[in-house]
């Protein structure tokens, strides 16, 4: 089909050119490319030189087609409103991106609308960051036998690897801490409950109250979409309540900072008039007038762990066993919560 044009017309050189220049067969070049130990040193050097001289780079597409394997890791992030204003996503991308580069894996970033099915042949493995409305995508990939790992979401009913963070424990620790400071009237500003972490944090909050025999008040629970706007509304309501909470556990640091700002605008002092505990350990929390007490979650660790595990799954000969991990969270005590009445 394509005309055989003279050499200088060629787009770029192929393994054949390298073979010719090195005076060996393309099979040998391929072996050098793939670091087969069997190639005689003399030939290896010739090939390496030819590659250098021609500035040859193999076609990754041909490699993948011929070998049937690909070193492509797809990172699937469901796109939803507010997603991108979060601390969380960037941390994930940072952790995953950095490790992929180190492990020579190609990172395909898929900000999915959750409806479009993924092309399962595009990647050798998939990391699902959270599962929000895209459970079918996960199941398709799982059923197709593609190595998958889910992060930031604990999936019970599928034999799939997952790595999540101890949201319940973290929330409980936060609320227990407030209780230990003497607070009994503790509000909660939750994140978007379509996300598992937000739901679990709410659960942890509930649990802590129950275990401490504090009655759960629905009017102390404020549901948001994680946005600062909704956090602001919630904060205003809280501060203007008749039976005002003395403390609030907020599902993200970004929202907690907003609560702090609102409180100050309304003439309240933090933590004297309102104790606040956030969730994330977002560095921004450090830099206000009052450093934010928060729950640290190991996002980068989770991200990197997922790449390691996926990389293992992608190269494993025999099916590896499925692991479900929950990484611990840690309460970081700073200044935004204090004993009641202090």
Partner DNA sequence: CTGAAAGCGCTAACAA
Partner DNA sequence: TTGTTAGCGCTTTCAG
Binding site for DNA (CB under 7 A): 1-2, 11-12, 14-16, 24-28, 30-31, 33-34, 37-40, 42-43, 56, 58-59, 62-63, 65-69
162 CB contacts (<8 Å, ≥6 apart)?
Answer: 149, 150, 151, 153, 154, 155, 324, 325
Under the criterion CB under 8 A, does residue 267 sit at the interface with a copy of itself?
A: no
Q: Where are the alpha helices (DSSP H) in 15-166?
A: 15-22, 26-33, 41-54, 60-67, 87-102, 135-143
Q: Which is nearer to DNA, 18 or 150 (CB)?
A: 18
Q: Which is nearer to DNA, 33 or 326 (CB)?
A: 33
159 CB contacts (<8 Å, ≥6 apart)?
Answer: 322
Q: Which is nearer to DNA, 74 or 200 (CB)?
A: 74
Q: Can you tell me which of 34, 40, 45, 84 binds a copy of itself, judged by CB under 8 A?
A: 84
1 binds, among a copy of itself, DNA, none (CB under 5 to 8 A by kind): DNA
DSSP 319-333: PPPP-EEEE--EEE-
Q: Write out the E strands in the chain.
A: 72-78, 106-112, 125-129, 148-151, 161-165, 186-190, 221-223, 247-250, 275-277, 294-296, 324-327, 330-332
Place of tokens 């407030």: 178
Q: Least Å distance between CB 160 and DNA?
A: 25
24 binds, among DNA, a copy of itself, none (CB under 5 to 8 A by kind): DNA
Angstrom distance (rounded) from CA 171 to CA 251: 8
Q: Can you tell me which of 10, 36, 40, 60 binds a copy of itself, judged by CB under 8 A?
A: 60
Cβ-based burial of 35 (10 A; exposed 0-12, middle 13-18, buried ≥19): exposed
Under the criterion CB under 8 A, does residue 61 sit at the interface with a copy of itself?
A: yes
Q: Least Å distance between CB 81 and DNA?
A: 35
Q: Can you tell me which of 81, 101, 219, 323 binds a copy of itself, judged by CB under 8 A?
A: 101
Under the criterion CB under 8 A, does residue 65 sit at the interface with a copy of itself?
A: yes
Under the criterion CB under 8 A, does residue 49 sit at the interface with a copy of itself?
A: no
148 CB contacts (<8 Å, ≥6 apart)?
Answer: 125, 126, 127, 128, 138, 141, 142, 160, 161, 310, 313
The encoded tokens of residue 306 equal 């997922």
Q: Identify the three-state secondary structure at position 272.
A: coil
Under the criterion CB under 8 A, does residue 97 sit at the interface with a copy of itself?
A: yes
Q: Going residue by residue from 132 to 171, which x/- string records binding to a copy of itself, judged by CB under 8 A?
A: ------------x---------------------------
Q: Can you tell me which of 45, 103, 111, 320 binds a copy of itself, judged by CB under 8 A?
A: 111
26 binds, among a copy of itself, DNA, none (CB under 5 to 8 A by kind): DNA
Angstrom distance (rounded) from CA 255 to CA 320: 40
Q: Which is nearer to DNA, 65 or 216 (CB)?
A: 65
Which residues would be at the binding site for a copy of itself (CB under 8 A)? 11-12, 57-62, 64-65, 68, 70, 75, 79, 84-85, 89-90, 93-94, 97-98, 100-101, 106-113, 119-122, 144, 228, 257-258, 261, 264-265, 283-284, 286-289
């Amino acid at each position: 089909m394509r005309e055989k044009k003279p050499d200088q017309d060629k787009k770029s050189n192929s393994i054949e050119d390298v073979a010719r220049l090195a005076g060996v067969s393309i099979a040998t070049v391929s072996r050098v490319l793939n670091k087969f130990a069997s190639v005689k040193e003399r030939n290896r050097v010739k090939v390496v030189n030819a590659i250098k001289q021609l500035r040859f780079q193999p076609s990754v597409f041909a490699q993948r087609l011929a070998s049937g394997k690909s070193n492509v890791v797809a990172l699937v992030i469901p796109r939803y409103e507010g997603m991108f204003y979060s601390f969380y996503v960037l941390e994930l991308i940072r952790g995953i991106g950095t490790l992929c580069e180190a492990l020579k894996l190609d990172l395909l970033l898929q900000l999915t609308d959750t409806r479009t099915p993924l092309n399962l042949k595009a990647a050798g493995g998939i990391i699902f960051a959270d599962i929000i409305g895209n459970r079918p995508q996960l199941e398709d990939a799982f059923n197709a036998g593609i190595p998958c790992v889910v992060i930031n979401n604990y999936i019970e009913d599928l034999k799939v690897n997952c790595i999540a963070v101890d949201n319940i424990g973290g929330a409980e620790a936060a609320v227990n801490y407030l209780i230990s400071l003497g607070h009994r009237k503790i509000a909660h500003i939750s994140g978007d409950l379509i996300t598992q972490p937000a739901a679990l944090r709410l659960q942890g909050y509930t649990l802590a109250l129950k275990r401490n025999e504090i009655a759960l008040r629905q009017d102390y629970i404020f549901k948001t979409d994680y946005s600062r706007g909704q956090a602001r509304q919630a904060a205003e309501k809280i501060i203007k309540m008749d039976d005002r909470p003395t403390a609030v556990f907020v599902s993200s640091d970004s929202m907690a900072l907003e609560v702090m700002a609102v409180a100050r605008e309304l003439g309240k002092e933090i933590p004297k008039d309102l104790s606040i505990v956030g969730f994330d350990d977002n560095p921004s929390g450090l830099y206000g007038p009052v450093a934010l007490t928060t729950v640290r979650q190991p996002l980068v660790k989770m991200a990197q762990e997922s790449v390691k595990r996926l990389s293992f799954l992608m190269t494993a000969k025999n099916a590896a066993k499925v692991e479900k991990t929950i990484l611990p969270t840690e309460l970081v005590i700073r200044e935004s919560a204090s004993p009641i009445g202090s």
